[in-house]
């Protein structure tokens, strides 16, 4: 998954106005306590980050 696809999914899940804000504030345990944005900046695979976001938000399986 590319960064652009990650952000597209984030915007679909949270809306374009809230996605980046949420990603910069929500620390996720499965990302070693980092926010999704911190994890992206650290070079973590966007697919792994999306799976963590998906689980945190308890999104439907079809959004996986």
Determine the Cα–Cα distance for residues 40 and 23; give it in Å rounded to an integer.
10
In a domain, 18, yes or no: yes
Residue 64 in any domain: the answer is no
Query: pLDDT by residue (tens digit) across 7-47?
Result: 999 999 999 999 999 999 999 999 999 999 999 999 999 99
Q: Evaluate whether residue 16 is within a structural domain.
A: yes
What is the distance between the alpha carbons of residues 12 and 41, in angstroms, rounded to a whole number? 21
In a domain, 39, yes or no: yes
In a domain, 46, yes or no: yes
In a domain, 7, yes or no: yes
Do the Cβ atoms of 39 and 26 come closer than 8 Å?
Answer: no
| Residue 59 vs residue 48, higher pLDDT | 48
> 8 is in which domain, residue-wise?
3-59
Report the number of distinct structural domains present in the chain.
Answer: 1
Q: What's residue 60's pLDDT?
A: 79
């Amino acid at each position: 998954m590319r960064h652009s696809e990650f952000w597209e999914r984030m915007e679909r899940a949270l809306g374009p106005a809230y996605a980046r804000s949420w990603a910069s504030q929500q620390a996720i345990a499965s990302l070693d306590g980092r926010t999704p944005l911190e994890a992206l900046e650290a070079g973590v695979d966007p697919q792994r980050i999306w799976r963590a976001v998906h689980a945190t938000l308890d999104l439907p399986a079809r959004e996986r």
